[in-house]
Structure 1
């Protein structure tokens, strides 16, 4: 697949930006049958028969409902009736919200009624798996197919697995992740069938997708730009929101720069040495959205308009949804043994 070219005048508007370009490999997953010897999303892994399949023993988060006493609900309804605007809390209403939160306790996430039932308060709390839960194969990436995939220790194959439950770990709410780097030539006897585990979130079960890797150039997030280039950007486009859609690649990708639009620029120190890490992989809920469609939709799919049924398989090919249609990013340290990594969600 081929990405439309960057408008030639775009770099001319920001002198100094061209020198900061960095390659990234867009994976362009699209649904289809995949084989164990291919790069893919959601397919079988080249896994040795004598190597244990990864499992998760980290507690997963479970939503619990706590009944709200009738008198508290009556006071809440009375306060809502005193509102002079639908979206402005009445006097004392914030205190009633806090009373509900105190009643529900740690892990409080809100309150309300579901499917016409009585209102209740909700909280999330950790619960251990009934047994070590076999992980789900998320991706297999071959260095021969993906130019920006690193080769730590001579590895030429990266396998990504995760546990399809919500977990709270390292300030990230989502699946636990396991990376396995290996040399493809060393795998001789293959595991016939991986063990199947429990599934808490269907959105963490990827559809089998072939990859159509494409190497493109992207540019730093605005807060990572040198002061002189950032000053030109501020003059050119105010808050730089248009810059992100033009210069940073959305969707599944390997390498390149990270987009920090949700939280602003964050630190990603190595868990072992505390040194800098590199963006390894972005696991995205979508290939593009309404704001990035014209810039990043592949040339081969330009005919797909918003009313075309095939648009959804092109725009959301893997079926994976991270957070609220966000992205999970894996940052890896290529200097430390065993290639430690950390997760960040946007």
Structure 2
């Protein structure tokens, strides 16, 4: 079933024209429990992994297979992220076990689906992973939405707009951060759904700020954001999603450099 996020409850760019140049497109994946195959885009589903390639193992836990987190075909990216030349498949895995100073250790792979050939079945994961670190298999329902920066809003602009944010909230009940800026849930592109101060990384190769690739969040929407971001199709409906619980219901954010060879990436955790 296609998901449709309601339009913002107020006209963001009319009320706050200063944020209009900062708008970005994101793809909400809307994962819902299901039975995806390796032919599908999915969260926590089987990957179209070549049989000729070994399955990735965690570099910090010898012999610990990485868990499939997200598989996304280019058609489901809806043009938000430009895939590398000759690639049409994005695959993200991570080691769900505890690490020194990190919640998970991810890997990002780009490949051409037609070149995969025979598909390797994922090995069973080692027991003992923390609860909520491995998503349940979910089908996805990609949807294009418009976002504006929340925690990533420049300090000077935040200071200039803070009083107007408060006035709009007092008059309408809609909070800029929770209801008008960044979409919650697992999404491609757009702005990270920070819960705390941003930790935007720079590329180790060129030194430039990296681009946000993917947010893997614990929930589709929390109690604060649900009123504005729940798709029409899910209003009043109890559904089962990916079942993630990362820290204190936080998220993992993946960033990449789109100019350096190999598309180097970094990850950040935010609780």
Q: Calculate the TM-score normalised by the size of structure 1.
A: 0.70
Aligned partner of 1:134 in structure 2 is 65
Cα distance in 2 for residues equivalent to 1:197 and 1:3: 35
Cα distance in 2 for residues equivalent to 1:185 and 1:344: 32
In structure 2, the CA distance between the partners of 1:222 and 1:45, relative to structure 1 (3 Å rule), is closer
Is contact 1:41–1:207 with CA below 8 Å preserved after alignment? yes
Return the offset for 1:10: 3.3
Q: Calculate the TM-score normalised by the size of structure 2.
A: 0.89
Match of 1:276 among 209, 216, 221: 209
Aligned partner of 2:4 in structure 1 is 2
In structure 2, the CA distance between the partners of 1:197 and 1:300, relative to structure 1 (3 Å rule), is closer
Return the offset for 1:232: 4.1
Aligned partner of 1:207 in structure 2 is 136
Aligned partner of 2:246 in structure 1 is 322
> What SS is found at the alignment partner of 2:123?
coil
Aligned partner of 1:104 in structure 2 is none
Return the offset for 1:164: 1.6
> What SS is found at the alignment partner of 2:227?
helix
- Runs of 4+, deviation exceeding 6 Å: none
CA offsets per residue over residues 302-341 of structure 1, 9 Å max, x none?
123xxxxx25x2xxx1011111100110011111111111
> What SS is found at the alignment partner of 1:324?
coil
> What SS is found at the alignment partner of 1:275?
coil
For structure 2, the residue ranges without an aligned partner over 5 or more in a row are none
Aligned partner of 1:100 in structure 2 is none
Aligned partner of 1:255 in structure 2 is 189
In structure 2, the CA distance between the partners of 1:260 and 1:51, relative to structure 1 (3 Å rule), is same
Return the offset for 1:222: 4.8
Cα distance in 1 for residues equivalent to 2:182 and 2:71: 24
> What SS is found at the alignment partner of 1:236?
helix
Return the offset for 1:19: 2.8
Cα distance in 1 for residues equivalent to 2:151 and 2:58: 37
Cα distance in 2 for residues equivalent to 1:334 and 1:281: 14
Return the offset for 1:33: 1.0
Match of 1:186 among 105, 115, 132: 115
Q: Does 1:340 pair with 2:267?
A: no
Aligned partner of 1:237 in structure 2 is 165
Return the offset for 1:223: 4.6
Aligned residues: 260
> What SS is found at the alignment partner of 1:224?
coil
In structure 2, the CA distance between the partners of 1:187 and 1:253, relative to structure 1 (3 Å rule), is same
1:103-252 equivalence runs, <5 A: 129=61, 131-147=62-78, 148-169=80-101, 173-191=102-120, 193-199=121-127, 200-225=129-154, 227=156, 229-238=157-166, 242-245=175-178, 246-252=180-186
Return the offset for 1:231: 4.2
Is contact 2:200–2:210 with CA below 8 Å preserved after alignment? no
Compute the RMSD of aligned alpha carbons.
Answer: 2.1
CA offsets per residue over residues 17-49 of structure 1, 9 Å max, x none?
223211000000001110111100111111111
Aligned partner of 1:81 in structure 2 is none
Return the offset for 1:225: 3.8
Cα distance in 1 for residues equivalent to 2:151 and 2:249: 22
Cα distance in 2 for residues equivalent to 1:144 and 1:329: 22
In structure 2, the CA distance between the partners of 1:184 and 1:33, relative to structure 1 (3 Å rule), is same
In structure 2, the CA distance between the partners of 1:16 and 1:177, relative to structure 1 (3 Å rule), is same
Is contact 1:140–1:159 with CA below 8 Å preserved after alignment? yes
Cα distance in 2 for residues equivalent to 1:219 and 1:196: 40
